[in-house]
Amino acid sequence: MRSRLTALAGAVAIAASVLSPAAARAQGPERPTRVLILILDQLRPDTIERYDMDNVAALIEEGVNFPRAIVGHMAAETVISHNVITSGLFPGHMGWSNEAHRDVAGVLGAPGEMYVTSSMSCAQFQALIEAGAYPKLQDFLDAEFGEGSRFVSIAQKRTAACTAGHTSSAADGTPTDPDDVILQIRGRSAPVSCDGQPGWRVPENGNAPNPVPAYFDLATTCSRWWTWQAANAYGTGEILPGRIYNLDGNRFVPGFDPAHLGGDVWSADAAITVIENDPTWRGMLVSLGGIDKLGHMWGPEDSVTGPPGSEEEMRHLPFIARTADRQVGRILAALEAAGLRDETLVVLTADHAAQTGKRFHGRFDTFTVGSNINACDPATGTSSFALRSDCNWYYGRDADEAYLDPSPAIAQLRDALTPPGGTTNLRFSYQDSHVAVWLHDASLARKREAAAAVLRLPGVIASYYLDEDADDYVLHGTNRMTGAERRWFEGHAEALVDTMAAPYGPDVVGLLKDETTYGVMGDHGGHQRLVQRIPMVFSWPGLQPRAMRQEIRLVDVLPTILGVMGIPFDPASFDGTAVPLPRR
């Protein structure tokens, strides 16, 4: 048991008198004693019907459904939302708040250094979470069910598995509870070829140095858990718009080898293996990343099907969405077969949605791949892992990479912040369905100057700058909006932008019009309704199926889970709110 959980004992005493009515009714045996969170990365509500996702639809029908659920924070990214879900905190309170991070406190290295969070390691996320010293879902489960309980985080993405799975260390420096498992498909390079092909990966426990549980049988060469992640792009390396963020083996798609299916099938198989072999698990988060990858490549409304069993079918969203839906059905069936459904609260939601870039301000061109470490640096070449998407999304230098081949719009911003004969004040920018800017000189005057320059960028409808206390954003100005854009902006924009406010957050933020992107064809991150609106359902036999009217956010998920499970907590420790759920 982590010694830091003594802090939770105080929360138990405080919370005994402040539990929500739903939590009070859930005391005793009439409550779930396990929780399974299913995240379908980039799932929009309309995706469910568009691609006949019948298992997801059935779960929504039988649970407490929130048709007005939203992400509720910015940046609306995988690397942000998975930690919001398991911490109940807004990004501005959890240690990082965007795809780029200014390490003001020097947690990761030299104070003030820039990092791309999607490139960070599990150990780096662990360090940021530890510095925040806040409890997460797994801490509450340990406090309630004992130190032998296990939390399992499974994903194709490190940014999902590690941010959801890590929590703070004990005072003696012991890592995250050694019983916990953080499993992601990429792992390490396989020591040998498999089936006569190089380029295989073997999963590792991101909760280092603890091993992957033995029931995964990683000791066997070419076991089921090895996945082929070589350069096979399934033809996407030649087709626009997908080629700027093309496939890379079987990380996000299942592939054609029945002994080594990847993508969402791999993640579902891992979850089912835990359910069937490990009675100690009390919490599990499974993040299915296929929809997000294909949605980025073609846009979230992709309709190309392709002949059954073909590469064309596999590289498009209709097949991958239905694949994800089948995995939801398989996981729920495994719960039922193991006799665990009656004791498991199932939460299904998305980390964000997405919008199609009908107005796209990135670049589609390709470039020569070089051998040096820098990405997107035309002066020195580009590395083998750099895609045009990286060069569209990022501009600037971080701790170990350079992104210096921007789109025309971001080149315009760089030049606008460059005095005659001087160097640009644009230190780093990230842009997808919003624009986030970090400055060298972040004085109030320079932030206002940058906010004015951002407001002049194509597609920008509003710009903000971080106030002097770094605890909220100040609206600099707006541009013309449609009626629908104006209504959503007035109801949500300020609150969403403010969730990023922190010394490590962006100095300036630009909000974009609907159906406008800077990075890839399908993108997210911003305030737009299409990006923010997500499905959310809580399902357990003790809950009364109902469609709820109120808006719920991802930050509300953790306190709501604790309320249903009857686990005491101090409401003041969360930015989110426990939403009472109707019981039978």
Report the pLDDT value the prediction gives residue 199, as an integer from 0 to 100: 87
Report the pLDDT value the prediction gives residue 5, as an integer from 0 to 100: 41
pLDDT above 90 for 284 = yes
**Over the stretch 39-76, which tens digit does the pLDDT of each residue have?**
999 999 999 999 999 999 999 999 999 999 999 999 99
pLDDT above 50 for 334 = yes
pLDDT band at residue 90, thresholds of 50, 70 and 90?
very high
Of 252, 277, 265, 275, the C-alpha closest to 332 is: 275
SS (H, E, C) 419-453: CCCCCCCEEEEEECCEEEEEECCCCHHHHHHHHHH
pLDDT band at residue 375, thresholds of 50, 70 and 90?
low
What is the DSSP annotation of 16-68? TTT--HHHHHT-TTSS-SEEEEEEETT--HHHHHHTT-HHHHHHHHHSEE-TT
Report the pLDDT value the prediction gives residue 146, as an integer from 0 to 100: 86
The predicted model gives 260-268 an average pLDDT of 97
Strands 522-523 and 355-356: antiparallel
Report the pLDDT value the prediction gives residue 450, as an integer from 0 to 100: 99
The predicted model gives 373-384 an average pLDDT of 55
Percent of the chain with pLDDT over 70: 90
The distance in angstroms from the start CA to the end CA of the chain is 35
The predicted model gives 384-399 an average pLDDT of 84
Report the pLDDT value the prediction gives residue 262, as an integer from 0 to 100: 96
Query: Among the residues of 378-502, which ranges form H helices?
Result: 388-393, 408-416, 444-455, 483-488, 494-498
pLDDT above 90 for 382 = no
pLDDT band at residue 238, thresholds of 50, 70 and 90?
confident
Nearest-angstrom CA–CA distance, 388 and 73? 27
The predicted model gives 238-248 an average pLDDT of 90
Give yes or no for a contact between 55 and 322, defined as CB atoms under 8 angstroms apart: no
Report the pLDDT value the prediction gives residue 267, as an integer from 0 to 100: 98
Cis peptide before 127 (omega within 30 of 0): no
173: helix, strand or coil: coil
Give yes or no for a contact between 142 and 5, defined as CB atoms under 8 angstroms apart: yes
The H or E element containing residue 142 is: helix 137-145
CA angle in degrees (0–180, nearest 5) for 241-351-398:
65
Nearest-angstrom CA–CA distance, 584 and 567? 19
The predicted model gives 467-496 an average pLDDT of 98
pLDDT above 70 for 21 = no
pLDDT-wise least confident of 52-66, 83-97, 370-384, 450-464:
370-384
Cis peptide before 458 (omega within 30 of 0): no
**Over the stretch 218-234, which tens digit does the pLDDT of each residue have?**
888 999 999 988 778 99
pLDDT band at residue 28, thresholds of 50, 70 and 90?
very low
The predicted model gives 454-470 an average pLDDT of 98
Query: Among the residues of 252-387, which ranges form H helices?
Result: 263-277, 290-298, 311-314, 317-337
Report the pLDDT value the prediction gives residue 63, as an integer from 0 to 100: 98
pLDDT above 50 for 317 = yes
Nearest-angstrom CA–CA distance, 448 and 431? 19
Full set of structural domains in the chain with CATH: 3-353+533-573 (3.40.720.10), 407-531 (no CATH)
The H or E element containing residue 461 is: strand 460-466
The predicted model gives 159-179 an average pLDDT of 76
